[in-house]
Homo-oligomer: A and B are copies of this chain.
Amino acid sequence: MAQASQATIGNSEFDRDTAVVRRAEGVYDIDLSAGWTIISAVNGGYLLAVLGRALADALPHADPFTISAHYLTASRPGPAVVRTDVVRTGRSLSTGQASLLQRDEHGQEVERIRVIASYGDLDTLPDDVRTTAKPPAIPPIEQCFGPEDGPAPVPGSSAITDRLMLKLDPSTLGWALGAPSGKGEMRAWFGLKDGRDADPLSLLLAVDALPPTAFELGISGWVPTVELTVHVRCRPAPGPLRVSVATRNLAGGFLEEDAEVWDSADRLVAQSRQLARVRLG
């Protein structure tokens, strides 16, 4: 009866933890869950999914086609408010802005993240595909490794790892064995541990869920995101996703991380790029 315990879209931990409650026109309350933290930080992809969900309610279109987030201050688990603003509504695309805010120890509202996004309806897009990109070369899921496999190949397990099915390609795991490849690549099978299938909102989580590519470049410090933009290109098919992340340019204390997300039907369903700071330890 394993099937019966599977969570579905709309009825999973991810859905409960990203649920926003409309307080007034364009204003939403949420209690940020501690379940999506890594070390002490709330995962940036989880936060983006929260903002994305508020905008899906505020805008006449439901799917984020392109969403750009600038991370201002570190979010904490607990109460937060999302304030949205409809910038423009069109027939096929609408654009909105959103801010995530929390109160500091003095009760002052502090902005955590600001976002601009253009939304549409993925189901109305034509079927044409002329993608020249190929899915990432990644071994079968049984030959990949997660935090639960053996003597902690992935160190620093924390809350979020309990919620993700994350199986890393062994060829991008050199860092965990003290031998980073120097290549700046990270690849993994990705899903939600409760079995919920992927949708456009969970793709916002998928692009920022792997260990930093900086680890494979021999850097073990903290890599906070400055800006993250995600393009959702297709509604993902059921089944596990493959996520491939690459850094081409680590320089001047910053790096970019480009992610591609492929679904079980071999379609490139999302692309993202982030600019992150390198905090040497």
**A residues touching B (Cβ–Cβ < 8 Å)?**
65-66, 68, 70, 72-73, 87-88, 93, 95, 97, 111, 114-118, 122, 125-133, 182-184, 217, 226-227, 229, 231, 233-234, 247-254, 256, 258, 260, 267-268, 271, 273, 275
Contact = CB atoms under 8 A, between A and B. Distances in A.
In order of increasing CB-CB distance, the 10 nearest A-B pairs are A125-B252, A68-B68, A133-B248, A66-B227, A130-B250, A129-B251, A66-B275, A131-B249, A72-B88, A229-B229
B68 A231 contact: no
26 contacts: A65-B275, A66-B226, A66-B227, A70-B87, A70-B116, A70-B117, A87-B114, A93-B226, A115-B116, A118-B227, A122-B252, A125-B254, A128-B253, A129-B251, A130-B251, A131-B248, A132-B250, A133-B249, A227-B231, A229-B229, A231-B275, A233-B252, A249-B268, A251-B267, A271-B273, A273-B273
Contacts of A268: 248-249, 251
